[in-house]
Structure 1
Amino acid sequence: MITPDYYYIIVGGGLAGLQLALEIRKDVFFKGKKIAIIDPSLKSENDKTWCFWEEGSGKWDELIQKEWQQGLFIAESVKKEMDFAPYSYKMLRSIDFYQYAKGELNKDPDTYFIQDEISKIDEVTRTALGKKDSYTATHFFDSRPPHSYKDDSGSAKIYQHFKGIYIETQEAQFDPDRFTMMDYRGKYKNSTCFTYVLPVSPKNALIEFTFFTPFLTEEKVYDEQLEKYIREVLKIDNYSITESETGIIPMTDYPFHQHNSKYVTKIGTAGGWVKASSGYSFKSTERKVDKLLSNIKSGKKPAQGLFSKRFQRYDAIFLDVLEKRNDLGESLFTKFYTKNSIQNIFKFLDEETTFSEDIKIMQSMFHPQFLKSFFNKL
């Protein structure tokens, strides 16, 4: 038998691929096993910002740009101040993560970065076919989303799509100790949309206009909504844009796990690792990587037991509600944030609540559409 080029090939050097590679290299179980990370991009720019919550200190604290212990939820007639203790809400720029990960991984002689675009993985020959070359391995971790999920009629699909701009003001305009998690004062055609304000200093903030909708839109819509929010809501007339970012995150109950096989494990968005009802991915990825490597070391299938069927069902129902009645988003999130403590919300989104706690949260958000979506998802 011909010896493969690598023991593992990770297709995609984004969040999931780099977190996975870092944990493989830290674990003596994988010592001496060659891995390749193949991506068409050099990941040399700040293409996104990740935010997440956690209790106390965490493994990424040295990379954190800013963290907050207080936040705001704002809707038409509601303004709720939230104290996160014992949690902190943390902000991490992707470029800082990319540079750290590449710096650590480049120290290891058995880790290789390859700039190429993989078009296909042939499981018979265990070969990843790229535009520049082909590469063999014993197993592939693949972050490329399957094309079929977009056309699957049986799954709910909501897109979290957004544009964020870093702005700098001439005078102090922001409270750097408190961020705005959701502000629904910016409206757009009976859809679920909100603005997110992350102040990093009195004169600097990331302001992001975000949709949770079944449809996508043109970039000019984000620009118009951002300018309107900054001038009419924040009352800021003089500012400069120092950086911008855009993104589309699929929020869906599509069964990504069906694309796992003996030699290929889907990871990241392609593996369903993004929390379907919220779009949060950073800490979810961390947990999934830990479980995946534990499975491998125990002789199990890599993706075994990565998901809670109970929480997958909750997510599916909620997404179906937003898909069928996208105009309900503001009222549902208002109930969610005003009738529950932020600590219980974080526990629920981290899938750490008990069934009785889940019932209380779901009762707090009740609308008849939930019953219709419940039966639709049976």
Structure 2
Amino acid sequence: MITPDYFYVIVGGGMAGLQLALRISEDIFFKGKKIAIIEPSEKSLNDKTWCYWESRPGRWDDLIYKQWQHGKFVTTDISKDLDLEPYSYKMLRSIDFYNYARETLDAKNEFSFIKDEVSAIDSVTRTAKGKIDNYTATHFFDSRPPIDYKKDSAASLIYQHFKGIHIKVNENTFDPRKFTMMDYRVKHKQNTCFTYVLPFTATEALIEFTYFTPQLTEETIYDKKLEKYISTILGISEYEILDSEKGVIPMTDYTFTASNTKHITKIGTAGGWVKPSTGYSFKSTEKKVERVIENIKAGKRPSHKLLNLKYQRYDAIFLDVLEKRNDLGESLFTKLYTKNNIQDIFKFLDEETSSSEDLRIMLSLYHPQFLRSLLNKL
């Protein structure tokens, strides 16, 4: 039998792949096992901003760029303050995470970074086929989404797509103690869309215009909506753009786990690790990685019981509602944030609630479309 090149190959050096590699590097169980991280890009740019909430100090606190304990939810008719305690809403810049991961893993003899793009993995020969070379391993952790997930007629699919700009103004304008979770005052047709504001200082903030829609839009639309929000809502006429970001996150109940095999485990978006109903992924990934490590050490498949069936069903129904009636988004989120306290919302989204707590939150969102979507997903 030919000895494989690596014990593990992690295909993709993004957030999921690097979180997994970092966690493996900390556990003596994996000492001496050669691991390759194959990624086609240098990951030298700040290409993403990740946010999440925690009720206690967390493992990434040294990398946090900014955190808040106060927020707000805004529509044309209401403005509700959100007192997050004991939670904090934390923001982490991708470049800080990439640099930390690279520095940490470069110091470990077991890890190799390889710049290549994997096109396919042969589960029989246990070979990852790259553009430059091929790589064999006992197991692959693969972050490449299957190409057919957009074509599954049984799955709901909403895109969270956005553009954000980090701006600087000359006068004190922002309250750096309070972020804006959702502001629905700038609209686009009958779409679910809102503005998200993360103030860093009194003169700097990241402002993102975000859609939850079944279709994408042109970049010029984001620019127009951002300009309208900045000028009409914030009353800012002059500002400097320091940085920008844009992205598309699939929010879907597609069964990504069907692609898992004895020798291949899908991770990140490709593994269904993104919370389907919100698009949040950083903290979810941390939890999934911990379960993967526990499974391996217990002699189970890495993908064993990674996803919670109950919450998968909740997410599927909610996505179906937004896919069928995208015009309901503002009213549904308004009900969520005005009829529940933020701590209960966070607990529900963290998949830590009891059945009675689930029922209370779901009843607060009620619309007849939920019954139709429930029947559609049975």
Q: TM-score range by the shorter chain?
A: over 0.9
* 2:173 is the alignment partner of 1:173: yes
Q: 2:246 matched to which residue of 1?
A: 246
Residue in 1 aligned with 2:350?
A: 350
Give the aligned partner of residue 291 of structure 1.
Answer: 291
Match of 2:164 in 1: 164
- CA drift of 1:78 comes to 1.1
Tell me the secondary structure at the aligned position of residue 148 of structure 2.
Answer: helix
Q: Does 1:360 align with 2:360?
A: yes
Q: TM-score w.r.t. structure 1 length?
A: 1.00
SS in 2 for 1:9: strand
**What TM-score do the two structures reach when normalised by structure 2?**
1.00
C-alpha distance after superposition, 1:13-61 (max 9, x if no partner): 0000000000001000000000000000110000000000001211101
> Distance in 2 between the 1:42 and 1:81 partners?
41
Please identify runs of 4+ aligned residues in structure 1 that moved more than 3 A. Answer: none
What RMSD, in angstroms, separates the aligned Cα atoms of the two structures?
Answer: 0.4
| 1:329 to 2:329 alignment | yes
Q: Distance in 2 between matches of 1:369 and 1:110?
A: 52
| Residue in 1 that maps onto 2:197 | 197
State the distance in 1 between where 2:340 and 2:233 align. Answer: 26
Q: Which runs of 5+ in 1 are unaligned?
A: none
- Residue 221 (structure 1) aligns with: 221
Cα distance between partner residues in 2 of 1:101 and 1:84:
29
Secondary structure at the aligned position of 1:242 is classed as strand
The whole-number CA distance in structure 2 between the counterparts of 1:293 and 1:61 is: 22
2:142 is aligned to 142
Match of 2:107 in 1: 107
Q: How high is the sequence identity, in percent, across the aligned residues?
A: 66
TM superposition shift of 1:76: 1.8
* Letter matched to residue 209 of structure 1: F
Q: Deviations over 1:233-275 (max 9, x none)?
A: 1111110101000000000000000000011000000000000
Query: What amino acid is aligned across from residue 281 of structure 2 in structure 1?
Result: S
Q: Secondary structure at the match of 2:198?
A: strand
Tell me, what secondary structure is at the counterpart of 1:359? helix
Q: State the match for 2:275 in structure 1.
A: 275
Cα distance in 1 for residues equivalent to 2:307 and 2:117: 29
Match for residue 13 of structure 1?
13
Partner-residue secondary structure (3-state), 1:333: helix
Distance of 1:46 and 1:237 partners within structure 2: 27
1:186 equivalent in alignment to 2:186: yes
Letter in 1 for 2:149: Y
Quick one: distance in 2 between partners of 1:140 and 1:56?
A: 33
- Which consecutive unaligned segments of at least 5 residues does structure 2 have? none
Shift of 1:117: 0.3
Distance 1:65 1:39 in 2: 25
Q: Report what 2:59 is aligned to.
A: 59
The one-letter code matched in structure 2 to 1:54 is E
Q: What is the aligned partner in structure 2 of residue 153 from structure 1? A: 153
Aligned equivalents of 2:211, 2:227: Cα separation in 1: 16
Q: Deviations over 1:173-208 (max 9, x none)?
A: 100000000000010010000000000000000000
Per-residue deviation, residues 107-153 of structure 1 (Å, max 9, x unmatched):
00110000000000011111000000000000000000001101110
Cα distance between partner residues in 1 of 2:359 and 2:22: 38
Q: Distance in 1 between matches of 2:64 and 2:229?
A: 27
Structure 1 CA distance, aligned partners of 2:270 and 2:367? 31
